[in-house]
Structure 1
Amino acid sequence: MSGREERERAVELYFSTPMSTKQVVEHLGYPTRQCLERWLHADPRYADVVAKPPVPLGTRRRAVELCLSGMQQKQAAAELGAGTGAAHHWMRLYRAGGMAALGTGTSEKVIRRIMREDGLVTRVPGRRRYSSYEGEAASRAGQPRRPGFHRRTTQREVAHGHHAGSRPGTARSAFPR
């Protein structure tokens, strides 16, 4: 089979069955999921297709029930046609909040909009910035600033002629007094 025929077969299988891209790839053994999605985006029929819906609530609840009855999450996911990661996520949600936690989630954006409409305000603490700076040296020690203070020249600088004024246009111009 040529590359074009394989591509057409994979795209046709996706449109003719209720399979997801992952399931089509597993069924055919080729291409990768990302490659199939690129092929689908290039197909003119894909513009009319709405994204496949998320896993229904009943399937999520059934997966949790199977796991609670002793079945492994991987087996429950395979039996229901869902991903292993999804089954693991549903179990985590169940453990955190029971069956009600499996319902459709509400985004933070929607919650904030509803709160704003009802006039509710949450306290969001300000960001605490770290700084090792503790203020001006003069204010800490209670001593006046010394405006004529300059870094002292080390013995090494004097010995090697690297101190201010040893060569024209060096440190003296860079560090005016």
Structure 2
Amino acid sequence: MPQLPTANAARVSLLHGAVGVGEHHDSDTARHHLYDWMLSGLVTQIVLELDDFANVPLGETVQVLGFIDNQWGNDIGLLDLWTLAENLNIEVRGWDPGDQLGLTMAQSLAFRNNQIVASFINEHAPGVPHAAVPNAVGVVLLFGVGHFGPTPMTINMLLGDALPWVDLH
């Protein structure tokens, strides 16, 4: 799917499958929209630009999210989204292995995006990659906007350009 033109178009797309939300880390515009979508009941799962924290003790998760939030100073931090998700029983995932030593920035981004897409497909449509997006109604992938776009190694293109995405800066 091509880039969606507005936040409202992304909101409507959540009714039909997963949506990529590209944020600018120094702006919380995307997080404001996501927060509203969560409160309205549209969001079933959030995938954050973090490593897998499923087996990390709660205290450590809170510390990591707080540290990241302090770097950017947004009104709505990742910890706010995580806390709201916990209160609303919305699953939160982290599938991003982070930058890889010894790789260029482009190579590292490609590696990360491949890992993210593999995890997404494994969770939402094992063995049937083309079904992952429509099977994932209400799933929001919140990543820096550089993870989406028309180049071959972006998340949406690795999913066969099936993932609608929006740049909310």
Band of TM-score, shorter chain? under 0.3
Structure with the higher strand share, 1 or 2: 2
So what's the TM-score if we normalise by structure 1?
A: 0.20
So what's the TM-score if we normalise by structure 2?
A: 0.21
Rg (Cα) greater in structure: 1
Structure with the higher helix share, 1 or 2: 1
